[in-house]
Amino acid sequence: MKKITLALMLAGAASLVMADGAALFKKCAGCHGAKGEKKALGKSAVIAGLPVSKLEEDIKGYKAGTLNQHGMGMLMKGQVASLNDAQIKELAEYIHGLK
Ligand code: HEC
């Protein structure tokens, strides 16, 4: 019985995290596509399915203003400036899971 309760709690926590990532991704979808399948403004890489670590590093780099891969780093800085580390992690995991 205990095991079942724990499994349910974990499942609940996981879906909460996923819901958050999905909500946060809404404002990215306009450029990157609903499933992260587009090259944003014809410039960026397709981000769906990229490794979590690369996504996290990129978003943090844009936030810090130190990353500029295709000449549009400042534009991405504006998109992610208000995200905290936990939100960045959720987004990275969500985007990694997109296909
Ligand atoms: C207004 C359009 C736009 C929006 C909205 C936007 N992006 Fe981007 N994104 C871009 C562009 C353009 C680039 C390329 C930036 C550069 O020159 O390095 C990029 C690059 C990226 C990259 C690196 C991809 C690569 O080429 O390696 C990631 C990761 C990323 N964006 C995530 C996000 C996330 C997460 C959000 C939402 C919080 C978001 N973007 C919102 C336009 C956008």
Tens digit of each residue's pLDDT (9 = 90 or more) over 5-27: 767 666 666 555 556 999 999 99
Ligand 1 pocket member 69 (CB < 6 A): yes
* Residue 36 vs residue 7, higher pLDDT: 36
CB of 98 shorter than 6 A to ligand 1: no
- Each domain of the chain, given as residue ranges in start order, spans 2-96
Question: Is domain 2-96 annotated with CATH 3.40.50.720?
Answer: no
Residue 80 has pLDDT above 70, yes or no: yes
CA separation for the pair 42, 70 (Å, rounded): 10
Calpha distance 53→43 (Å, rounded): 21
- With beta carbons less than 8 A apart as the criterion, state whether 5 and 15 touch: no
- Are 22 and 28 in contact, with CB atoms under 8 Å apart? no
Does residue 11 have its Cβ closer than 6 Å to ligand 1?
A: no
- How much distance in Å is there from the Cα of 8 to the middle of ligand 1? 35
C-alpha dist (Å) from residue 87 to 10, 19, 53, 71, 99: 19, 12, 14, 25, 20
